[in-house]
Structure 1
Amino acid sequence: MSGTITARVTTSGGRALDGAVTTVMSQTGEQCAVVRADVEGTVTVGELPSGTYTVVTTSEGYQPSARVAVLTGAGSIGLGEITLSRAGGAPVPTPGRWEIDAGHSAIEISVRHLGIATIRGRFADFSGCLEVTDDIELSSVVAEIKTASIDTDNSMRDQHLRSSAFFDVEQHPIAEFRAARVTPATGESWTLPGTLTLRGTAVPVTLDLSYLGEVDDPWGQRRAGFRATGTLRRNDFGISFDDKLLTGVAQIGGTATVSLDIQAVRTDN
């Protein structure tokens, strides 16, 4: 006779944790089954003979959970809701609406030049907001960057970057980034998967995100700090400038590194 073990895997906020991995082991340590939770967080492990099992549930960025299940015959045993806590217990921002303070923030971009050096630039004109929810993983970000505000400390190069060969600022003056969720990574870091629209082309982009804490400033406002980094492939956005040296080395690298240091002000308190 065989039975079935069922459970539902959630975060501490009650959200279904789809993709969580449940491993069922016998009393002798033999691995009997490995099952991934579905989009509802549901786990079903069937065709198990009578006996006592250890049920271990894991998900990247979360502390594992272990339960004991005893099957005494045919039928199903329900373990109920298995709640996974985020690994590291890192602090998170206070729920609410946070607006980016561009005057105390920076968005920088760097790219390899001639294969031997790095050119760095920054965008001077941008705005955005963060909606932090009680379930931190459902938080969202919207940001806009005016591409004409690129500044690499070289006016000739900046004009080239604003041309149709690169940012094409006349046709596409705004680059927009949107993200509708964040996911825990390791320790105090997060992953921010979103979409960057540049030159009219929307491309999935993932940023590595760190929350740096909150303070009250001298003007009675609550501020939070964030740092994020990511890599962009310019060909993904139709920027195919490919002039090369006689040696075959590209004048400009095919990837760019983006670095964001953000201060945001709480606006709904």
Structure 2
Amino acid sequence: MTTPAVAGYRSGFWSIDQEHSSVLFTARHMAVGKVHGRFRRFVGKVFTGETVEQSAVRAIIDATSLDTGSVKRDRSLASSEFLESQTYPTMEFRSSAVHAYDTDFLVDGELAMHGHTKPVRLKLTFNGIIDDPYSGVTRAGFSAHTTIRRREFGLSFDARLPGGGQLVSDQITITLDIEATLDAPEPG
């Protein structure tokens, strides 16, 4: 398969810009609605190789920074029924391979969460690279998404509705919109 072209592509090490990035999740609620949330704190490094397929990423998410817009729901999600964020305060993703896929890419890796590590595949769009005329830094943009099953990570809360169905879905959609800045070269 031909590797999709990425405007301005260059190899290097990049730091995720938390101020211009988001880590979001969506779960079905009572089989009829969706609840959206985000993690407010995360860090990560991206390496763009000589080719896109030689690239890699590592990101750490602060599980205690979960925010759904409801203090009551956030407490529930942080509790032992779900994330147990006091016991498992971070989640980590490490890539293992990048593959061209149609006009985008697939990023394979492992997600460590709640004491479990499982393989995960992200569908990624490389949005491009630009020299920021305001700050002087070089920026790269990425958008990615995947779906995980929370039970595979030991999140086994399973309240059932009276007519059938789950209070909270097993499938969780994760959406990432990432901007990263090119690290300055090491002196000497």
Q: Tell me if both proteins adopt one fold, taking TM over 0.5 as the criterion.
A: yes
Pick one of 143, 149, 157 that aligns with 1:227: 143
Contact 1:139 1:180 in 2 (8 A): no
How much does 1:245 deviate?
Answer: 1.1
Q: 1:172 aligns with which of 81, 88, 92?
A: 88
Whole-angstrom CA distance in 2 between matches of 1:117 and 1:100: 31
Alpha carbons of structure 1 residues 87 and 174: separation in structure 2 relative to 1, 3 Å: closer
Name 1:54's counterpart in structure 2: none
In 2, the alpha carbon distance for the partners of 1:215 and 1:162 equals 38
SS at match of 1:247: coil
Which residue of the partner structure matches residue 244 of structure 1?
Answer: 160
Moved over 3 A (4+): 87-93
Name the counterpart of 1:211.
126
Separation in structure 1 between the aligned mates of residue 3 and residue 56 of structure 2, nearest angstrom: 21
Residue 268 in 1 paired to residue 148 in 2?
A: no
State the TM-score, normalized to the length of structure 2: 0.94
Alignment match, 2:112: 197
Q: Which residue of 2 aligns with 1:131?
A: 47
Write the letter of the residue equivalent to 2:40.
A
Q: Matched residues in 1 for 2:88 and 2:72: separation?
A: 20
Gaps of 5+ in 1: 1-61, 63-85
Alpha-carbon distance in structure 1 between the residues aligned to 2:131 and 2:7: 17
1:116 maps to which of 22, 29, 32: 32
Looking at CA atoms only, which structure, 1 or 2, has the larger radius of gyration? Answer: 1
In the alignment, the residues of structure 1 paired with residue 127 and residue 92 of structure 2 have an alpha-carbon distance, to the nearest angstrom, of 24
Higher relative contact order (CA 8 A, sep 6+): 2
CA-based RMSD of the aligned residues comes to: 1.2
Change (3 A) 1:88 1:175: closer
- C-alpha contact (below 8 Å) 1:92/1:211 kept by paired residues: no
Q: What whole-Å deviation, never above 9, does each CA across 1:106-159 have from its counterpart, x for those lacking one?
A: 010000000000000000000001011113212110000000101000000000
Q: Are the structure 2 counterparts of residues 261 and 154 from structure 1 closer, same or farther at C-alpha, using a change threshold of 3 Å?
A: same
Q: Give the deviation of 1:249 after TM superposition.
A: 1.5
Contact 1:92 1:136 in 2 (8 A): no
Partner of 1:41: none
**Do the aligned residues in 1 keep the contact of 2:6 with 2:127 (CA within 8 Å)?**
no
Identity %: 34
